[in-house]
Amino acid sequence: MLAGLRQQAGKIRTVSEFSRKGPWLGLLVGVAAVSSAAVLIKLCQVPALSIAAYRLAISAPMFWLLCWPRGAPWKGLNRSELGLIMASGCCLGLHFATWIASLSFTSVASSVVLVTLNPVFVGLGTVFFLREPVPGRLWVGTAMAAGGSVLIAFSDRGEGGANPLLGDGLALFGAVCMSAYMLLGRSLRDRLDTLAYVSLVYGAAAVVLLAACWVSGSPMGGFRQTDWLLLLALAAIPQALGHTMINWSLRALGATVVAVAILGEPIGASLLAYRFLGEPITIMQLVGAGLILVGVGLAARTALPPPQKGAEPAAGNISA
């Protein structure tokens, strides 16, 4: 009997230990997974629009399967809310299309740092479009991020890719599109949990991108076997595994901790690019990235309001 009690106590300690450390491990795995996206894209010899379309077309059904046991995620939504879902999907599709395209023209370090500026744009959007109060730290964060962006733009002149300034501009536009996606989704947060919202928006974005490929003539086949494997990895690792782990850890750790941890994504992506692609990181890039990440950290504290009672918080800054 005593041995049985000891065994039961051991099981309780194991469960307690996992409940305490599990979310932190999930967050670490999630950030590491999303950090791999840029390198996988760089290695894939497929047009940017096709990569974006396949990334979402493959990963969306994964989220549908996770969501389906709870019922159809669109059930109970009115036309206006479904319209917001489609608009959010268009913005998310544009985000992935432009950011992925940026990697053809500039370095991983510059692209990933610039695309993480979305909390700054979200904060500014809440001020100018939603007429919310202006916290002082938002302006400080915006100024720091703008200064860092200028440094990165200057550091990229004549190096870092085929057309670094074009790539930097595409990454910035990708950040703006991600911000629009987040702002559009704010009104749906009290109706849908994160998983249901993401599964619907990913599906809408996949439809938009597949249609864009058809209209533009971007190829959807004839790729190398290696490219197909990279597309599957892109959907499974950064999109499905990374985003799922980050959203899972969010409920236990809170939005502030997760928002700060996600700032490790550009660092991880830059280190992976240095290791597997041989991309150097300049001193000016480091200084600019430091300014941007601190600025984004300040802006992230104001970009999204605290969730309503009983609502599930949303991860706001997963850009890759």
Q: Which residues contact 196 (CB under 8 A, 6 or more apart)?
A: 67, 70, 73
Q: What is the pLDDT of residue 255?
A: 65
- CA dist 234 and 168 (Å) reads 22
Strands (E), the chain: none
Tens of pLDDT, residues 261-287: 777 888 888 889 989 999 888 888 888
Report the b/e string of 14-39 with b at 16+ CB within 10 A.
eeeeeeeeebeebbebbbbbbbbbbb
pLDDT band at 75 (very low <50, low <70, confident <90, very high): confident
Q: Which residue has the tokens 């799922």?
A: 244
Which range in 130-144, 227-241, 300-314 is most confidently predicted, on average pLDDT? 227-241
Q: What is the pLDDT of residue 4?
A: 55
- Coil, strand or helix at 47: coil
- CA dist 277 and 42 (Å) reads 8
Q: In this structure, is the dihedral angle defined by the CA atoms of residues 277, 282, 286 and 292, taken in order, positive or negative?
A: negative
Q: What is the pLDDT of residue 251?
A: 72
Look up residue 98 and give its two tokens: 């432009």
What average pLDDT does this structure show over 96-103?
96
Q: What is the pLDDT of residue 313?
A: 47
Nearest C-alpha neighbor of 296 from the set 146, 161, 173, 133? 146
Tens of pLDDT, residues 134-193: 677 777 887 888 888 878 877 766 555 678 889 999 999 999 998 888 888 777 766 777
Q: Which long-range contacts (CB under 8 A, 24 or more apart) does 17-23 make?
A: 19/252, 22/252, 23/248, 23/249, 23/251, 23/252, 23/253
Mutual angle of helices 164-185 and 118-128, in 10-degree steps: 50
| Residue 73 · residue 191 · CB < 8 Å | no
- Of 60-64, 218-222, 234-238, which range is least confident? 60-64
Q: For residue 34, which amino acid is it?
A: V
Q: What is the pLDDT of residue 154?
A: 73
Q: For residue 107, which amino acid is it?
A: S
Q: What is the pLDDT of residue 29?
A: 93
**Cα–chain-centroid distance for residue 234?**
13
Look up residue 152 and give its two tokens: 């990165």
- Of 4-8, 160-164, 202-206, 281-285, which range is least confident? 4-8
Q: What is the pLDDT of residue 302?
A: 58
Whether the pLDDT of residue 5 is over 50: the answer is no
Q: Which residue has the tokens 């409940």?
A: 19
- CA dist 82 and 225 (Å) reads 37
Look up residue 67 and give its two tokens: 């969501």
Q: What is the pLDDT of residue 99?
A: 96
| Residue 74 · residue 140 · CB < 8 Å | no
| Residue 205 · residue 56 · CB < 8 Å | yes
Nearest C-alpha neighbor of 40 from the set 117, 112, 110? 112
